[in-house]
Every structure is written in structure tokens, then in C-alpha cells.
Chains A and B, each alone.
Chain A
């Protein structure tokens, strides 16, 4: 955590300065992104799989489970969301295990913009943040001014964090500068709120694209890079997250600034979450083992973490009825 106190605030401006040449034109940006070292798919997947074989037991598991709970962005992003549902989720985020006051709270709840006010009201000063998905989530298919209005609306309602989606169509057709400019514009609309940039890696498909999108978003001033909306399969995977962790590690080497990473979608078990934490530890480094720098976008994961946590303290597995369903 050596660089944390000041970097986040100045991230965009400093990054903008050091990369101003790169982002000065479409062709310069393309040259830069295509000049990044390639990713060998077979090798990357083998490395991710081998990190997944680490055996995390006893005290290490205790630590990992509590850390994972603190990293959860407890998420509900459904057409059927109601105030009642969001309030229930917010309460769960503040007191994940009502039976155990030592259980930490989650990092944030993640909702659609129209639910931000309800979530904020329920969470109050608990320290649990409200994250809102904006910019015509999940497809991102809307005009820029609508995306910006969406963002401002969420921030005005009290969102602490904005999860935006990039324009995958523009990215895949090679219009990188357009994607970059859009992120910069959304960042500005965020004001004090933190910006997470969602790539929808299931649509970008190749690891080379994931690496390029990562650099694009980091240079544009995103505070976090995030894999997926959860609405497209595959969502987060270990290799994709590893490529993004390598990107934030390399970005810090180049600029001194730390960027967070958030895998989202498809992470359902404690075992999976621990594999991600091992990867954070060994690829990006221990500095990222903090809710400020790594998050899980998840809903069902939390209950499995709680079950494992209870098992670690009592030595017994309890049934699902001993944990709240929301």
C-alpha cells in the first residue's frame, strides 16, 4: 500500500500526462495498443490453472475468506429489482452474518442507478459503498449524452462508485480513440465517484484484446478495470483476470499509479474466490490484497463464503437455512 494515499485522486491527470502522446491520435493509440507484448493463450491458461492448484488451509484460509467478504460488491442487477429487494441486499452487506458480529461487511452494493437512493438511505454511514452500473448497462448501446446523463443521475443520487461499460462495438472495429474519449467523458461526469470500467471480456474474446482494453481504460483514468457485466457468458475467468492483473502491475511499474481489478460474474464458491486471491497475491502482488484494489462482483458467492467462515470457526458445515437469502 505504499502508493495509495495520493495516487487515486491524481490518477487521471498524471496518467493523462505521461500518455498524452499515445492518446493524441487514433493512429498513435492503435500503434501503442498493438505494440503491447502479445499474450500466448496456451501459456496464459496454463499459468492460471497452475495458480489454481495452490492449497490454502487453516490460518491462510481464515484470512482469505474474511478478505474475500470485504471485497464483495454485493450485486443485484435485475429487471425485477424493487426497493424492498435493494434494502434487503443493503442490510445483508452491512451484516452479512447476523449471528456473528465479527463478520466483516462487504465493500459495496451494486445496483442500477434508479436504486442508488434507496441503497444509500439504507446503508447510511455504515462504510459500505453504493456502486451503480451506468452508461446504458449492460450493452452500452446508447448515445454518449444519454450515457453521461445516466452517470450523472447515479452520482447525484449518491453513488460512490460508477461501473461503466465500454463500447465493445467501437473497440472491436478498432475505433480505440472513441472508446478512450468516452471513458474520459464518463470519468468527468463521475465527479468525486470512483470509476470502474467494464470490458465485457466475453465479447472481446481474445487475451490480446483484454490487455489492450486494460491499458486503454487505465490511460483514460479508470480507477478499476472490471471483467464483465454478468449478463454475457463467459463472465469472469481466472486467465482473463490474470491478464488484467498483469496490466495493472505493469501500469504501476510504468506510472507509479495503482489501478484496481474487479472480476464479476460466475464466481460462486469460496474455493473459486480463494483462487482469485492467490492470483492477486502472486501476479499483481500483495499490495492489491485490499478492497480498495480488488473486488468481486457477485451475489451468491457471499453465502458460500459465510458458510465456509462458520465452518472454519465451528468445525461444522451448517445448512443453507442458517444463512440469509435475499
Chain B
């Protein structure tokens, strides 16, 4: 080989780096209208409130003007939903409801690319994520619950629907959270009024079009857009039977107060500060992938994000070194580029919160590190970041940052890992990395978290129930358990 090296042409030595050329997904497939109304009783109507703008967080470009639902609009929507429940949907045989749900699921698959592009534009998440996770998992939820619609007698929760469900969803997985809410509600025979987040209303409005395309009877699904006030009117409306909310713990607490003393059934899926626990016998390379996926997936805008890395002290240095090397290969930028791994932060407000907590982390003495990374000059961006030397006493180990920021803590024994993992007001998810099966089972029994992932992280499946302990909320979504929140227990 020595001789071969000598004869090498100079061009080889100065070979350019493998620079991935831009590979943007085309925007041409989506047709964003200049303005959108509310979707009530099967039609788009004007809203009574003050309309607002939704922007692309990657460019700050204004995408569309969105109607705001006022109290009267909410009342109209709830009435439409009530009528649809009483006259059509609530009395329709499950087998027939299933046909609509299957049809919606198929249309979502057929229009998958369009939905994915729109989601990435409005939310800022990378196209590969909306294309490979959000849209297929959302469609899978409709397929899954379509299967339940005529089998409710086997659910163990009865067969009678509640009535009208008021549903409020967050901006981190706009379409997927819509699917988690609407699919089980409709399968169980309820009608819904759903409010998407004010920063990400577009895919919900596209979903309204899909309902029209599927000939869903008017009033079964109503989409009302707006911010906090709209949400308050909706969950506070006297004629809703069920409130389902996914979002922050503060708002969840306010909702629980608002519905206290009423007949409304409530499920809340709130914040988290999940521990991702890596033992010294873990499959290290896959654990590093799991850490990255746990906190940088969806820019860390994930309620079950593995935002606290608990790594066994004996391998902490090695894991950190590998983690940093891996983080340096993350591609931050244009959400529509097919090679982007980390997209834009969803809003200026959220960016400010991430910056604030990161600054506090530094002030409190934690070591801040980010890979070298060029961020676009317009839009909302934050580099993948980790903090070392974090202890339970740091605010960044306790408060939900909801951004691409990882706090690294260490532990010495399994008991200490459990103690630290559980030492949080939250309890949504946890991850355990070890080659030892018995330890996985032991840990899963000890951890007070609704989901415990073993040698993986952030995996979602419609058949698997998801939900929290403690301040992470109550009720489960997904799986058979997900039907409980939408059915009336049989009284004998």
C-alpha cells in the first residue's frame, strides 16, 4: 500500500468532504389558503373573535390568517356536536362508524406527503420526522381504533359513549395529538370539538377537509381555532361531557380546577422530566442513539423526552465522549430538507424559555456544551445542547425545558438510579439501558412512570397505552386503555 500511496494523484489527498447538497422536499404539494375559518357542523365558517396569524417558525414567514373562536362560536360548535351525537353518531352501529374511521385513515395515508410538508412548515419539525413518524403513526391510530368501533363490548369499559368531547391539543405533534384524541373518541361513539394550538392550526384544518372528503356526518368533528381564551370557553362549556387535554402542567391544573364539581370526565397528559438511565453493561452505541433520540427528537418538544440522562459513573466519561461525537453529526436547519435532523423551535416564546433555563443552568454552575453548528439567521433556533455536572439541586434537572437541552447526571448503583429517576414531581416516561433482562424488569417495577422503555426510547404505537403518574397527568391514551376515557361504565 505504501507504493500505492506514493502514486496517488493529488486530487485524492485534497478530496472534498462529503457535503450533503440541499435536498428540499417540494412545497408545491401543499396549498395554504390566505385565511381559514372554523370548522363547525361540517363547514368552514367565520369566527367571532380576532383573527390571528400562523407563521413558519423556520423563517417567520406568515402562512395564513386564522379565525379565532369566541364564546358564541364554541357554543355553536358544541351544539353541532351534541346534535350529531344524538341524531347520528351516537346511535350509529359501531361497524358503520368503523367504515368512516378506516376511510379517514386511508385518506391520511394517501395525502401523507401533503400533510407531512404542511406539518413541517407550520411546526418547524424536520420533514423526515413528520414523514416517517407523525403522519404514519397518526394514520395507524385511526386504523387501530377503527378496529375497536364494533368490538367495544370486549373493551371492559362498557359500550356507551359519553357524548361531546372537548379536546385541547399542543403544538409539538399537532396532527398526531389530534389523532390520539379524535380516533378513540369517534370509535367509542362520541362527537368532538377540538382546539389545536394557536401556533400550529394548519394540519388540524387540513384534517377538517379530510373529514369532508370522507363524508363524515356534519358535527361529528368540529375544529375551533384560537388561543387560551378559546380553550377556556371550550372546556368550561356546560354541555361537554368529557375534557381531554395534552399540554403543560400549569394549564392542566387550571383545567382540572375548572371542571371540578361537574360531571365532566377528564384526562390530562401533561409535562415530564424523564430519566434515561444508562447502566455500565448497556449496548453503548445504541444507548447513545437512544439518548440522542430521547432528547433531540422533535427539537426536544416532547413531553416524554429523556431530558435527564442518568449514566452510571463508571462509564460516564466514555458515554459523554461518544454522545458529543454523535451530537456533532446532527444536522440542524431547514425543516423541509430531507437530511435535517433537528428543525426549528416552534415559537419565539418557547425559544425564550429554553434560553432562559439554559442561562440558569450555566449560572448554577453546570457545564454547557453544544457542537459547532451554524444556525439560520431568521426563525427560531437553538443548538443541541448538553449540560454536564448537573445534580438534582439544579433547576435544569427539575423543570421541564421542552427543548433540545439534556441534563447529564450520574449514579453509582441501581437503587440510586431509581431514587434519582423518581425524584421529580413528574412521571410520564423513563428509559433503561442494560443488557441484563432481569434488571430491566426490576427497574420497570420501581420506576414511577407511565411508560418505561427498555433499550429504546420515544417509541409510539397505537396499541400501547400512554400517560402519566403524578404531575404528568391522569388517564391513558392508546391501546384498549385509551377507550376508558370515552366510555360510560355500565351500571348494573
Contact = CB atoms under 8 A, between A and B. Distances in A.
28 contacts: A8-B2, A37-B283, A38-B281, A38-B435, A43-B283, A43-B289, A43-B290, A44-B285, A44-B286, A47-B285, A53-B128, A54-B20, A55-B338, A57-B22, A58-B21, A60-B19, A61-B21, A63-B16, A64-B18, A129-B4, A160-B4, A194-B1, A278-B18, A286-B17, A289-B18, A290-B12, A291-B12, A292-B5
A9 to B, nearest CB: 7
A40 B15 contact: no
A319 interface: no
A44 B456 CA distance: 11
A54 B7 contact: no
Closest 8 CB pairs of A and B: A43-B286, A55-B23, A55-B338, A40-B283, A40-B286, A37-B284, A60-B21, A58-B21
B13 A1 contact: yes
Contacts of A282: 329
A53 B338 contact: yes
Contact of A56 (B1, B23, B289, B290): B23
Interface in B1-36: 1-2, 4-5, 7, 12-13, 15-23
Given A5-B5, A40-B455, A43-B455, A56 B285 contact: no
A57 B23 contact: yes
Interface residues of A, number: 42
Contacts of A80: none
Interface size class of B (residues with CB under 8 A): 20 to 34
Contacts of A1: 13
Interface in B442-467: 455-456
B338 A67 contact: no
Interface of A, secondary structure class, is helix
A59 interface: yes
B190 interface: no
A39 interface: yes
A67 B15 CA distance: 9
Interface in B259-274: none
Contacts of A191: none
A120 interface: no
Contacts of B1: 8, 160, 194, 223, 292
Interface of A: 1, 4-5, 8-9, 37-40, 42-44, 46-47, 53-61, 63-64, 67, 70, 127, 129, 160, 194, 223, 246, 277-278, 281-282, 286, 289-292
B416 interface: no
A160 B282 CA distance: 41
A60 B128 contact: no
A37 B231 CA distance: 50
B339 interface: yes
Contacts of A291: 12
Contacts of B362: none
A59 B286 CA distance: 32
A42 B19 CA distance: 29
Contacts of B281: 37-38
Given A39-B285, A40-B455, A223-B1, A56 B20 contact: yes
B132 interface: yes
Contact of B283 (A39, A54, A57): A39
A232 to B, nearest CB: 25
Contacts of B282: 37-38
Contacts of B15: 67, 289-290
A277 B18 CA distance: 9
Given A1-B13, A55-B23, A55-B338, A246 B285 contact: yes
Contact of B18 (A129, A223, A281): A281
A116 B21 CA distance: 41
Given A37-B281, A63-B16, A291-B12, 11 more contacts: A4-B5, A37-B282, A37-B283, A39-B283, A43-B283, A43-B289, A53-B338, A54-B338, A56-B21, A60-B19, A290-B12
